[in-house]
Structure 1
Amino acid sequence: MSRLRRDPRAERAAGFIAGDGPRPLYDRTRRAAGSGRPRRDPRAEREAQRIGGAARLRYDLSQVGRPRGEAVTAAPRSAPVAEAPKTVIVETPAFLVAVVPDAPGGRLSSHDRQVLGAARVLAGREGAVAVIVEAACEGLGAAGADRVLRLDGAEGYDPAARAARIEAALAGVGARHALFPESLDGGDLARRVAVGLGEALFTNAEVVAAKGLVRPARGRRVEQSLAPPRLATVAPDAVADYAGPPREARALPFEGAPPEPHGSIVSATRIPADPAAVPLSLAEFVVSAGNGLTDLDTFREVVAALHATPGASRVLCDAGLMPRHTQVGASGTVLAATCYFALGISGAPQHLQGIAGCEHVVAVNTDLHAAMIERAGLAVVQDAQAVMPALLRLLAQEAAGATAGEPT
């Protein structure tokens, strides 16, 4: 054999370290004379994996599996840089799919986003989605709009005049399809446009695909399918929102002449409902109290100042501190509110099921790891008893500034 014969005694003597201690010390990192393989030093390897600057011991586990005996130093880590998503631009679309959202208050509702998601399915890669609005609306590009056509809205409530403007816009842009939300306003507008254009309307579509649309019929015992028509309404919670990269939302010029006002409605005024009397299932803004709240009088003042609908957790309702009809959760009322403000609610699974359909959630709780804090889009880690008076003071200052004519 050509391999040298090992001499363990000589290797051990070569690694001896002179010292005054009672026990002999040896250098374990010295290479063996015969094998050529270094001996591992687990303590040195573990120390090399340690990440400094933290109160608790932390180690870089990516260093595990390196060749034995190598004392590897942890490479400095840099914070990952999130790349901004690229905006999708469709220069020359083959056709347009028009969407007429409700857009209450200049913002898209969850139903509007679903209609835009359905329009993106019909547009595919070759087409583009054009949104027709009567006022400034935010978030159109992120929701999937390639073009935006803004019309001049009429003063007051005149659904016939609005339908006439939409008819002129659809004829001007030459949209292949036009989708409306199946809502109170959107459904009424879609039917008026269909009558004005003299075309059929496919209502309450629950399945939207490039090959056709599907809706239930005869008490949901059968399904009706049709190739994508020109006019259709989309049912709520039937189609997923657009989840791709943001689109361009380029302004679409339109030089069509506005139709003559009909003038059939002399006066129309929207009378807002009392938030305290609105059922929880129909409320848009709900403020709820939980077990971490003791001052219910201040809570009622906050609800009144925010013009919200009061809610509560099951614990307060079981204790008789809040009415049973205010209970939020799977065993109470399932919400579909735009905003949900939770004060002192930890977030039981049944309660989280009840607010799954809420678009925005704001939570105030002292527990950083509470389930409600994780669910919230905006969280305040503080005692709700201290937050409520501060919130009332800010609302009073804002009201005083608005009364004096100062900008808020």
Structure 2
Amino acid sequence: MSRPRKDPRAERQARAVPGQRPRYDLARRPETPGGRPRHDPRVEIARARVPGGARLRLDRTQHAGSSPSVAIGAMSATPPASTTLLAAPTPRVVAEPAFLVFAVADAPDGRLTGHDRQVLGGARLLADADGGAVVLLAPPLVDDAGAAGADRLLALPSLGYAPETLAAALLAEIAARAPRHILFPESPDGGDLARRVAVSLGEPLFADVEQLSARTAIRPTGGRRREQAGAPPRLMTLGEGRVAPHLGDPHEARTIDPCEPTETTPGILRAEAVPADPATVSLADARFVVSAGNGITDFTSFKHLAAALGATPGASRVVCDAGLMPRAAQVGASGTVLDADCYFALGIAGAPQHLQGIAGCEHVVAVNTDLHAAMVERAELSIIADAQAVMPALLRLLAEGGA
């Protein structure tokens, strides 16, 4: 704070000349200025500025202090105390659980998918109600199981496509630990494993649960014209997008040793995954989409980049309306709504209808010349540059990496 703020009413009253009509002596200076102190925004910005870095960063928790004025350049080189990093939350430990809830995850390549996290969220609903613990059964190398809500981590064998061997290992764990509930994702692999386990145990499977709580499980029946509800059974599969993932404090995720499975003779002698051609996969099924916007003019380089990245090409409505890309490639509310793992937007500003179409994408990368574009705000990683210059640079880097 610096100069005092003027109070026009007090000044006018001090200059008033007695009489019937209001008259003022403009040459008279009021003895006391009065009014609140005036804020100096330059001083306040200097006080809140965080040293270091090329961009201006302000600590808004720094309020005006007792010193009346501070020069703009006279800031301390030591960051304010309020910039101290907060301590990481302490993991929650369930030492002696009343029961166990198994959460079986697909976890391709040792990474939990969004569907796997939802299964863990459903398992947490069942375990937290009565003092239970969640055991995550997944392939090795899952590194964020605690943040996803797992109290124990049990590694299942990773043998590629071997459902019979995987079911035998899971049956051994069920026999040894007697879990109260077992949740599977209603996915191609998780659903197949759940049905194999249900047949082996001779127990019913409550498949494709849409609503789950500690006391009730609901699923559609009769061609989705009716609902079946009841207490949560032992074996369940959870549909995608039905339960929120765990967003609370992290859990211990202590590793426990697996049991020795029984010997099995697999009926599948050889299995091979045949990847689909990203150029022919529909946008609704694509996991990685590279999309062109109004900032792209060289569509030959764009298609080469999509092929080099192994991504499915998409486009904004402006590009499709111009006939530069087929209508089937349009992304947005009036085109295809994506459910991809990654969306790479080249030269797309981000109209509201386009942002609606990528709301379900897990990661978004944007290249745009406008720092304040809506797509840049939505993206987790942005390159503020001309997309026409970025594409050949990426192609060159990909060529050097593959050489």
TM over 0.5: yes
1:48, 1:340 → 2: CA distance? 41
Q: Which runs of 5+ in 2 are unaligned?
A: 1-13, 16-26, 50-54
Contact 1:49/1:60 (8 A) holds in 2: no
Contact 2:345/2:366 (8 A) holds in 1: yes
**Could you say which residue in structure 2 is the equivalent of 1:50?**
44
Amino acid at match of 1:98: F
Task: Kindly indicate whether residue 294 of structure 2 is the aligned counterpart of residue 300 of structure 1.
Answer: no
Bigger-Rg structure (1/2):
1
Task: Kindly indicate whether residue 166 of structure 2 is the aligned counterpart of residue 151 of structure 1.
Answer: no
In the superposition, relative to structure 1, how do residues 60 and 111 fare at CA in structure 2: closer, same or farther (>3 Å)? closer
Counterpart pick for 1:335 among 315, 338, 343 = 338
TM-score normalised to structure 2 length: 0.83
Counterpart pick for 1:137 among 142, 151, 155 = 142
2:247, 2:305 → 1: CA distance? 36
Describe the SS at the equivalent of 2:279.
helix
Amino acid at match of 1:147: R
Task: Kindly indicate whether residue 284 of structure 2 is the aligned counterpart of residue 284 of structure 1.
Answer: no
Contact 2:134/2:151 (8 A) holds in 1: yes
Following TM superposition, by how much is the alpha carbon of 1:134 offset from its aligned partner in structure 2, in angstroms? Answer: 2.4
Query: Which deviations, in whole Å up to 9, do the C-alpha atoms of 1:368-393 show, x marking residues without a partner?
Result: 11111111111111111121111112
In the superposition, relative to structure 1, how do residues 319 and 203 fare at CA in structure 2: closer, same or farther (>3 Å)? same
Counterpart pick for 1:172 among 152, 172, 176 = 176
Counterpart pick for 2:312 among 298, 309, 313 = 309
Task: Kindly indicate whether residue 385 of structure 2 is the aligned counterpart of residue 388 of structure 1.
Answer: no
Following TM superposition, by how much is the alpha carbon of 1:367 offset from its aligned partner in structure 2, in angstroms? Answer: 0.9
2:263, 2:41 → 1: CA distance? 81
Following TM superposition, by how much is the alpha carbon of 1:173 offset from its aligned partner in structure 2, in angstroms? Answer: 2.6
1:59, 1:217 → 2: CA distance? 55
Counterpart pick for 2:199 among 195, 207, 216 = 195
Describe the SS at the equivalent of 1:281.
coil
Following TM superposition, by how much is the alpha carbon of 1:221 offset from its aligned partner in structure 2, in angstroms? Answer: 2.6
Task: Kindly indicate whether residue 348 of structure 2 is the aligned counterpart of residue 354 of structure 1.
Answer: no
1:176, 1:59 → 2: CA distance? 50
In the superposition, relative to structure 1, how do residues 61 and 168 fare at CA in structure 2: closer, same or farther (>3 Å)? closer
**Could you say which residue in structure 2 is the equivalent of 1:204?**
208
Describe the SS at the equivalent of 2:284.
helix
Contact 1:164/1:196 (8 A) holds in 2: no
Amino acid at match of 1:300: K
Report the number of matched residues: 364
Contact 2:156/2:166 (8 A) holds in 1: no
2:41, 2:323 → 1: CA distance? 59
What is the 5 A alignment of 1:93-172?
93-124=97-128, 126-154=131-159, 156-172=160-176
Query: Which deviations, in whole Å up to 9, do the C-alpha atoms of 1:62-113 show, x marking residues without a partner?
Result: 979x9xxx98568996544442233222222111111111112221111111
Contact 2:164/2:266 (8 A) holds in 1: no
1:203, 1:60 → 2: CA distance? 51
**Could you say which residue in structure 2 is the equivalent of 1:271?**
274
Q: Which runs of 5+ in 1 are unaligned?
A: 1-10, 13-22, 30-38, 401-408
Following TM superposition, by how much is the alpha carbon of 1:182 offset from its aligned partner in structure 2, in angstroms? Answer: 0.7
Amino acid at match of 1:343: L
**Could you say which residue in structure 1 is the equivalent of 2:6?**
none
Describe the SS at the equivalent of 1:195.
helix
Following TM superposition, by how much is the alpha carbon of 1:174 offset from its aligned partner in structure 2, in angstroms? Answer: 2.4
**Could you say which residue in structure 1 is the equivalent of 2:225?**
221
TM-score normalised to structure 1 length: 0.82
In the superposition, relative to structure 1, how do residues 283 and 41 fare at CA in structure 2: closer, same or farther (>3 Å)? closer
2:217, 2:206 → 1: CA distance? 8
Describe the SS at the equivalent of 1:232.
strand
Describe the SS at the equivalent of 1:180.
strand
Amino acid at match of 2:45: I
What is the 5 A alignment of 1:65-84?
78-83=81-86, 84=88
Amino acid at match of 2:134: V
Following TM superposition, by how much is the alpha carbon of 1:263 offset from its aligned partner in structure 2, in angstroms? Answer: 2.8
Contact 1:275/1:307 (8 A) holds in 2: yes
Query: Which deviations, in whole Å up to 9, do the C-alpha atoms of 1:6-56 show, x marking residues without a partner?
Result: xxxxx99xxxxxxxxxx7767636xxxxxxxxx34644x547963327799
**Percent of residue pairs bearing the same amino acid type:** 55
> What's the Cα RMSD here?
3.0
Amino acid at match of 1:135: P
Describe the SS at the equivalent of 1:310.
strand
What is the 5 A alignment of 1:177-188?
177-188=181-192
